[in-house]
Structure 1
Amino acid sequence: MEFKLFLNEVDELKAFMLTNSWDYHIHKNMKEETVQLLVEEGYYQNGRETYWIIDNNLKIGLICIEDIEDSIVSFDLRLDATYRGQGYGHYALRWLQQYLFGEKNKIRIEGYTRADNLSMRKCFTKAGFVKEGYLRNAWENADGSVTDSVLYSAIQSDWQNKTTTAIKLDDLAF
């Protein structure tokens, strides 16, 4: 598996985004004009780095790293439906830590997912991310519904020391 910087391959991006269903993202089914508008507005590049996830010369996923100039970043991970549930997400999160902590010297990576996205929640945990928060009514969907979300993070010092720092969520009653 390898990761290659998105270089404005618009037709491939459209094919990827339009042929998959994104059940746990705001827009479950992307429209071509939406993807085109995002590209034209620089969504995949301005203040972000976007990488194709490639396996056997096939583009099977996309990671969009947000706030790339900050020391704390978040990201969006999408895998082609054919490749979900096969360990690619875990591998992508491990690569993300290696790249952001090892090469870019970031101090923290945050990831949010809908509370009902159990596969992603397991993926975060397996990749060494720590569940830091359960956010009630924090994820707005395109159909107007609102769901809970869960916050996970990885920090550079844990990654460097191969450890997990316990969170202090319940150290005080308030």
Structure 2
Amino acid sequence: MFTFERIDPVAEAQELINFMTAQPWPYHVNPHPTAEDIREAIEAGAYRDDENDSYWILHRTLGRVGFVRLEDLEDPTPLFDLRLAEEHRGKGFGKDLLLSITIWLFENNPQFARFEGQTREDNLPMRKTFVRAGWVKEAHYREAWPVAGGGAVASVAYAILRRDWETGVTTPVPWDDDPQ
């Protein structure tokens, strides 16, 4: 259902600027990036360098529906920044999209043993998507996500292990192992 087309952030700078500034990103640290914010990020390598790589998300019938950036690519556990265009939100794409990203990452990057994502505690659609796609909640960082114009909210981390993805068997988190 979804494929990924690598972005050349320099050649496609205006397309990237248009996409990132055309709609709000209510669950991101900067919900209203400016053209200058995006230009600066492009120049800093935030969309492509040794640690980051970016892709347009293509739907088989709808065309370009979003953007995903893979982050921390020199670490054994990359993260992602997912942005679905406003007109495509709430249409039930989440689980299939996250499964597609997971499959693509693990099939094309044998060095990665885990794949991680974080979202705000109040982003219930994304949190449900993680669970439905077989990801496991691993952390709840209290007051760790800055919110423009308000107090910080919790950041909630989910991950999937390569072996869980390969076998379909979820490795549980040992929540009850605190020393007494």
Q: Structure 2 length as normaliser, TM-score?
A: 0.90
Q: In 2, Cα distance between the equivalents of 1:2 and 1:103?
A: 13
Number of matched pairs: 174
Q: In 1, Cα distance between the equivalents of 2:84 and 2:141?
A: 24
Aligned to 1:42: 45
Q: In 1, Cα distance between the equivalents of 2:80 and 2:135?
A: 13
SS at match of 1:25: coil
2:170 maps to which of 153, 156, 164: 164
1:143 maps to which of 134, 141, 149: 149
Q: Structure 1 residue 141: deviation in Å?
A: 2.4
Superposition misfits of 4+ residues, deviation over 6 angstroms = none
Aligned to 1:119: 125
Long gaps (5+) in structure 2: none
How high is the sequence identity, in percent, across the aligned residues?
37
2:137 maps to which of 116, 120, 131: 131
Deviations, residues 23-76 of structure 1 (Å, cap 9, x unaligned): 000111111110111111111001111111012363211110001132211110
Long gaps (5+) in structure 1: none
What does 1:1-174 correspond to in 2, within 5 Å?
1-8=2-9, 9-46=12-49, 47-55=51-59, 56=61, 58-105=63-110, 106-143=112-149, 145-172=151-178
Q: Structure 1 residue 173: deviation in Å?
A: 5.1
Q: In 1, Cα distance between the equivalents of 2:114 and 2:140?
A: 18
SS at match of 1:136: strand
Q: Structure 1 length as normaliser, TM-score?
A: 0.93
Check whether the contact 2:121–2:156 (CA below 8 A) recurs between aligned residues. Answer: yes
Deviating more after overlay: 114-123 vs 139-148: 139-148
